Structure 1
Amino acid sequence: MHNTSIFSARLLFRVLISVIVPLTAWATDVKDFGAKGDGKIDDTDAIRKAIIHAKDGLLEFPKGSYRITETLEIDLAEVGTLGISGKGGSARIVMAGAGPALRIVGSHDKGSALPASVKPITWEKERMPTVTAIEIIGAHAEADGIALVNTFMPVLTGVLIRDVRYGIHLLSRNRNVLIDACHIYHARGVGIYLDDVNIHQMIVSDSHISYCQQGGIKVRGGEIRNFQITGNDIEYNCDPEGEVSADIWVDCSQGGSVREGTIVGNTIQAIHSPDGANIRFTGVPGNADKIGLWSISDNHIGNQAVNIHLDHCRGITVTGNTFMRGYDRHVKIVDSKNILINNNLFDHNDDYYTSQVDAPGGISIDRANHITLNDNIIDGTGYGNETDGGAVVIANSQMVTVRGSHIYNARYNGIRIAHSTHVQVTDCLIDGKADPEMAAGIVLNGDCAYTVIRQNQVGKGKDGAIVNHAQGVVIEHNQVVSGD
């Protein structure tokens, strides 16, 4: 009996040791290297020591507030593949200096995602650095959250970054970037900033990106391919008193190319800011080829000067979205081609349009070609004035179709076509509203050669149903509705 008890005790001890020792040795605890986590002591040097000694691959911040005054640089070639964890989100890094709190640097500065281009050191020591379950807060005017430089397969998940300049700053060259289930909140600059960077394969998903004054997600130049923005809440990313911004802004006005992307299943809304946009693509002046092959689908988009602004781009589909409150316009297309605006709902729910709200909305197409505007419902919209405004305005363009759409409660005009050729308006239902009275259902001016207005049901405005001051237009088989 005595021997049995001894055996049982020894067995229990071995089991406990086998469980406890791996748990305690599994991660490198920053407090073991002198970090206090009290929010007062400067923990920069202590955490740097912990990074150097994190040989087991995980650097852990126990519950606490870790104040640092300089960037914590993780050179993956030196320290090896590393994960950083805040122990279930209970830890906070307070960046009280300029620059990013964490700067993760790899050596994938020339390779692509092709297996043959990946160097052995990348697989051995650098692939898939992770940051998870931690908060980063800025306590300096130029404090940033996380910078990624020349990394391969980085993963950021469950991270809260707030009160910084840039939340996540991508620089130089990165590949296969995953940002998931993160909160980027109240940045003085941009939430997720692709800053003249070369990136192929990047996904931002299931995250909240809000109250960032210079934009939620911004691309400035660089070379971007395969960029997916899905399932996020992207809101209030503007400063009504500051710089022009957008919730999502792809800006190639100074060069670069950004192609092959999706914006799908997001809520993208804001408050009105001067010249602001929910989604803005700004291409290279005089060249529409550098931004393209994007799908904008199944989003809720609203509450900005312009909901979607496409300038010098091509190959964009806008389908299945719901739009609300474009203070200037819902969609503005300029100097672009091969654009589909199909199967969307532009709604005017009176619950959102109080007497204090003046958000006329509408769609404008200017100096564009090969545009389809089909199977949309467009309710209660119309920017501009009776002379040149309307729910849909097509100017100085060619090869445009408007088909199978409901345009009603239109302000000024239902559809206005000016100096545009090869335009077809077919199978639409167009009607006005009593106050203010619609001027005309369809009005045409200037040279509109090879334009066809056919088989529409058109409400009669105070100037008529179809008012044609243009040349080269075929008008046939339409039904005029008096509105009585």
Structure 2
Amino acid sequence: MTDLSRFGVRGDGVADDTAALQRALDETAGELRLTPGIYRLTRPLEVRLDQGRRAISGSGATARLLMAGPGPAVRLTGTHRGSAAPEQTAGEVADSQRMPVLFDLEIAGEHPEADGVEIAYAWQPTLSRVQVQRCRHGIHVVANNRNVLISDCHIYHNAGAGVFLDEVGLHQINIIGSHISYNRCGGIKVWRSEIRNLQITGNDIEYNFDRDADVSADIWIETGTSSVREVTIASNTIQAVPTPGGSNIRVIGHSAEVGHKAGMISIAGNIISSQETNVYLQWARGITFTGNTFFNGQRHSIHARQSTHLLVGSCVFDHNPDYPRDAQDGLLFEECEGVTLTGLHLVDLLAGSPERGGAIELRACRGVSITDCQILNPAHRGIALERCDRVLVANCLIADTRAQPSMVEAIRDEGSTRACFTGNLS
């Protein structure tokens, strides 16, 4: 283990350890292990991956990097600009730059522009058992990277995004088994990036919102002119509190004219709750929901606009009877094409009004199949259709079993064409 004192490192939280730690990092081959203490930084620690394989550890997270200046506490910078194909990672990248590791480390911010970790041009960067708190962005991924792994981390109470994929070219990133919470500008935010194979699995992603912003989201994907495809969001707990413009999951593609830049997304086995809208989609394609439990969508459980090829199957939309209830919940699809809703269980949803809407509402959609759903005790109606085309509603049970029923009607259709209703029971 490196003797940090011979480089003049103090670790007392008062002295500026930036220069001394940088010397220790530059002159230590392999792992630099920080002993228990608080290491005050005023500039980023530059981990230059072309100088050999690197790792930084913090003695079981008893070492804290306190970033008192702008920029990341740790900046990992490699030279890899290719893909993950073996022929593009051979040579120096595979031999000397592969799998830089940060583990068992705490990073805290003490400057409004302090970030936790920045990663650029890296091959197989791995962060495990890292805590980042009170920074701007927790983990900031930029430029070009391949095969990023973030696991068992606590990304907590940061002013910006927890994990920020920022105008990055990136294939293969796994975010696993982490707590990502109380980050004001998003828990996991993907911004105008070119990404394939994003896996978000087994995390607790909670309370990532900003009451003063127009938009908030726990998981926020917005492509701009880039594209984000082949995404799995599975087995997470995703919840917040209702805020204006807030969503638990928010996916925005390129435009109505180019509606395929955000797509091939599987959302499965999650608990999704407590925001203005649980899931908001716009200009998205090929989105699958299965095995999720939704509750407390203040305005909507799912709201999709101008999106195509959407499948929602085997999900529950319910509420906790012992909690106060004012959320509308419900599913709203507007100007979508290719919508399949099957095997859904919806209970006590307040969506709609006596005049319009219902637990499931579709407006100006084409190619709609609603089958084998149970819609119990809707406040107004079970299914509401307006000006849709090519519609099948079949084998659904829609019933109001309350002592004082309020359901106006099971199904309402206004102005749809080529619609078939069969085998439904109310």
- TM-score of the superposition, structure 1-length normalised? 0.86
> What are the superposed Cα offsets for residues 183-226 of structure 1, whole Å, 9 maximum, x if unpaired?
00001000000001011011000000000001000100121001
Distance 1:167 1:243, change over 3 A: farther
Residue of structure 2 in register with 1:431 after alignment: 399
Paired residue type of 1:152: W
| TM alignment of 1:114-263, pairs within 5 A | 114-252=85-223, 254-263=224-233
Q: 1:158 to 1:416 in 2, by over 3 A?
A: same
Counterpart amino acid of residue 335 in structure 1: Q
In the other structure, the counterpart of 1:442 is 411
Other-structure match for 2:302: 331
Structure 1 pair 340–169 and aligned structure 2 pair: CA distance change class (3 A)? same
Structure with higher Rg: it is 1
- Partner of 2:246 in structure 1? 276
Q: Given the superposition, is the C-alpha separation of residues 114 and 457 from structure 1 closer, same or farther in structure 2, using an over 3 Å criterion? A: same
Uncovered stretches (5+) of structure 1, i.e. residues with no partner: 1-26, 459-484
Following the alignment from structure 2 to structure 1, what is the Cα–Cα distance between the partners of residues 404 and 261? 43
1:107 deviates by: 0.2
Q: Counterpart in 2 of 1:394?
A: 362
Q: Does the residue aligned with 1:457 lie in a helix, a strand or coil?
A: coil
SS in 1 for 2:21: helix
Per-residue CA deviations over 1:419-443 (Å, capped at 9, x if unaligned) read: 0011111101112356671211111
TM-score by length of structure 2 reads 0.97
Amino acid at match of 2:227: S
Instruction: Find 1:343's aligned residue among 314, 332, 342.
Output: 314
**1:101 to 2:70 alignment:** no
Query: Paired residue for 1:46?
Result: 20
More helix by share: 1
Give the conservation status (yes or no) of the 8 Å contact 1:98–1:143.
yes
| Counterpart position of 1:64 | 37
Structure 2 unaligned spans of 5+: none
Is the CA contact (8 Å cut-off) linking 1:240 and 1:272 kept in structure 2?
no
Q: Is the 8 A contact 1:382 1:413 kept in 2?
A: no
| Amino acid in structure 1 at the alignment position of 2:166 | D
Q: Is the Cα contact below 8 Å between 1:29 and 1:61 reproduced in 2?
A: no
DSSP-derived class of the 2:377 partner: strand
Find the counterpart in structure 2 of residue 113 from structure 1: 84
Q: How many residues align?
A: 424
Aligned counterpart for 1:92 among listed residues 64, 67, 73: 64
Deviations 1:218-246 (A, max 9, x none): 10012100110000000000022334111
Contact 2:214–2:245, Cα closer than 8 Å, also in 1: no
Question: What displacement does 1:348 show?
Answer: 2.3
Q: Is the 8 A contact 1:214 1:243 kept in 2?
A: no
Q: Give the Cα–Cα distance (whole angstroms) in 2 for the partners of residues 192 and 30 of structure 1.
A: 30
1:473 alignment partner in structure 2: none
C-alpha distance in 2 between matches for 1:31 and 1:191: 33
CA positional deviation for 1:77: 1.1
Instruction: Provide the identity percentage.
Output: 42
- Separation in 2, partners of 1:424, 1:122: 55
Deviation, structure 1 residue 382 = 3.5
Shift of 1:384: 3.4
Asked if the contact 2:327–2:350 (Cα under 8 Å) also holds between the matched residues in 1, the reply is: no
SS in 1 for 2:322: helix
Q: Residue 125 and residue 420 in structure 1: after superposition, are their counterparts in 2 closer, same or farther (change >3 A)? A: same
Alignment-mate amino acid for residue 41 of structure 1: A
The amino acid of 1:50's aligned partner reads A
Distance in 1, Cα, partners of 2:375 & 2:211: 31
The 2-side partners of 1:318 and 1:215 are apart by: 21
Residue pairs, 1:344-423, within 5 angstroms: 344-352=315-323, 354=324, 357-423=325-391
Paired residues of 2:191 and 2:222 also in contact (CA < 8 A): yes
CA RMSD of aligned residues (A): 1.2
Partner of 1:11: none
For the structure 1 residues 250 and 435, does the alpha-carbon distance in structure 2 shift closer, same or farther, using more than 3 Å as the test? farther
Provide, for residues 110-158 of structure 1, a one-character-per-residue CA deviation record: whole Å limited to 9, x for no partner. Answer: x100011125221222111000000000000111000000000010000
User: Take 1:129 and 1:148, find their aligned partners in 2: how far apart are those partners?
Assistant: 10
